[in-house]
């Protein structure tokens, strides 16, 4: 397993080249990753590096007919998006005869109840070599690691069953009577977990091995008006709010958190997904940041669909969705680009197009947060990277930032514990 913020794609491709075309130890490689990563990033990297000449690949995306056609090609590497792993194993009717599997963004296999996890686990004994790549191995804590390593070593180090892992290394934390909501590591558990996985894990930070550009983190605060803050506080207290005849309600804590995050961004969904606008504070702050960029390209991360709609209404922008969008961005042809962390946060090389990222709406997910930042702050970036966070004072925004910082400390400790000494 490789935890890296250096260019793990080309490192892995170089190893595949040696195994396939030099030592002939491997003949057929399956690469699993996010859709845009396997469709765009891996092919670009294969074509870009001269030392990879001769390495052939097939991109297994599109309709079922197109996917089957791609699987029937005689090549070294088959690139498939993670959503189609279950189809490949259980529905395609094609033999699973890959002697090496690479999982790009292994953290997407942290859910042991997911079909992709169960499908891959079923055929795991057939695979001679397996490699997991991720820059965020435990974005929500050490509990994430069990499923990832169950795929890698079939349970040799952390146990074959999640209950075994949980009982060995964790104690119940937050609970309500018999219902346990979270677990915390036992005394000494962290060090023991790091020791157990260290022999098959290598950790490399770009800041340790590459000359990285400076990264400036900036927080831009906005203040809600007295009326707007009163609306926010009313929903937080009463779980229900009436705005212009539209009723907003939160049926549980998760729904309340979601609604409060929306309100912090400036709008909230009411009944039948109707959008109730609360304030334009973040839009005004975004306008100031775009103007201060003086024409330099700006990448904006949004979270809710109404964020996207409101930003599009106010500014001339373009979403990063297709291969052409990525190319045009990297060619400097898009002044303001929009990305959603969940769909464009992993693996895309966007560093050639700009060096300024603005978080319009924040996410609780450390994994998506770090991966989105890494679209610009990565190898190949030649300018100082500036990451702005637009934060509404007195709202969930402040709690999210604190939570991300806390999670980052846990993950940093894990990565440092298995850092490669090269």
**Count of Cβ atoms closer than 10 Å to residue 292 Cβ:** 12
Between the CA of residue 369 and those of 361, 366, 420, what are the distances in Å? Answer: 11, 5, 24
Q: Domains of the chain, with CATH numbers?
A: 2-204 (3.40.50.10810), 215-414 (3.40.50.300)
Model pTM score:
0.62
Both tokens of 344, joined, read 């464009």
Helix (H, G, I), strand (E, B) or coil at 103: strand
Per-residue pLDDT of the chain in tens (422 residues, 90 and over written 9): 554 444 788 889 999 999 999 999 999 999 999 887 898 889 988 998 899 999 999 999 999 999 999 999 999 999 999 999 999 999 999 999 999 999 998 888 988 999 999 999 999 999 999 999 987 666 567 888 999 999 999 999 999 999 999 999 998 887 777 777 778 889 999 889 989 998 998 877 666 666 778 889 999 999 999 999 998 998 888 777 767 666 676 767 778 888 899 999 999 887 777 888 999 999 999 999 998 888 899 999 999 999 999 999 999 999 998 889 999 999 999 999 999 998 765 567 888 889 999 999 999 888 889 889 988 887 777 788 999 999 999 999 998 998 888 777 666 665 665 554 43
* Whole-angstrom distance, CA of residue 263 vs CA of residue 259: 6
DSSP E strands: which ranges in 35-107? 57-60, 77-81, 100-104
- Bridge-based pairing state of the strands 183-185 and 170-172: antiparallel
* Whole-angstrom distance, CA of residue 272 vs CA of residue 278: 17
* Whole-angstrom distance, CA of residue 102 vs CA of residue 8: 11
Buried b (16+ CB within 10 A) or exposed e, 166-189: beebbeeeeeeeeeeeebebeeee
């Amino acid at each position: 397993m490789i935890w890296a913020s250096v260019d793990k794609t080309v490192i892995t491709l170089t190893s595949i080249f040696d195994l396939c075309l030099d030592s002939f130890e491997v003949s057929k490689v399956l690469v699993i990753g996010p859709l845009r990563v396997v469709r765009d990033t891996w092919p670009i990297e294969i074509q870009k590096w001269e030392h990879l000449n001769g390495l052939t690949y097939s991109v297994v995306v599109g309709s079922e007919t197109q996917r089957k056609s791609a699987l029937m090609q005689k090549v070294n590497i088959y690139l498939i998006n993670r959503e189609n792993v279950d189809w490949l194993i259980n529905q395609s009717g094609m033999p699973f005869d890959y002697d090496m599997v690479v999982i790009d963004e292994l953290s997407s296999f942290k859910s042991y109840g997911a079909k992709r996890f169960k499908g891959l686990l079923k055929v795991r004994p057939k695979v001679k070599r397996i490699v997991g790549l991720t820059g965020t191995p435990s974005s929500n804590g050490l509990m994430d690691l069990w499923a990832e390593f169950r795929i890698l070593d079939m349970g040799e180090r952390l146990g074959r069953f999640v209950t075994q892992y949980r009982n060995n290394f964790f104690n119940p934390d937050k609970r309500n009577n018999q219902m346990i909501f979270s677990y915390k590591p036992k005394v000494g558990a962290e060090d023991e977990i790091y020791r157990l996985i260290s022999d098959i894990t290598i950790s490399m930070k770009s800041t340790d091995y590459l000359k990285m550009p400076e990264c400036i983190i900036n927080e831009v605060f906005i203040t809600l008006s007295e009326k707007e803050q009163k609306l926010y506080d009313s929903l937080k207290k009463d779980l229900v709010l009436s705005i212009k005849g539209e009723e907003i309600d939160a049926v549980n804590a998760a729904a309340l958190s979601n609604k409060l995050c929306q309100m912090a961004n400036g709008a909230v969904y009411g009944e039948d997904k109707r959008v109730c606008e609360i304030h334009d504070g973040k839009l005004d702050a975004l306008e100031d940041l775009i103007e201060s960029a003086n024409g330099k390209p700006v990448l904006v991360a949004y979270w809710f669909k109404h964020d996207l709609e409101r930003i599009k209404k106010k500014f001339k922008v373009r979403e990063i969705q297709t291969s052409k969008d990525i190319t045009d961005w990297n060619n400097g042809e898009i002044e303001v680009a929009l990305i959603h962390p969940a769909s464009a946060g992993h693996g895309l090389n966007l560093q050639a197009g700009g060096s300024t990222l603005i978080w319009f709406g924040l996410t609780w997910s450390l994994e998506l947060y770090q991966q989105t930042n890494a679209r610009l702050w990565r190898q190949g970036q030649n300018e100082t990277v500036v990451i702005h966070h637009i934060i509404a004072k007195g709202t969930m925004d402040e709690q999210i930032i604190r939570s991300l910082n806390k999670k980052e400390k846990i993950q940093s400790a894990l990565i440092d514990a298995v850092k490669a000494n090269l």
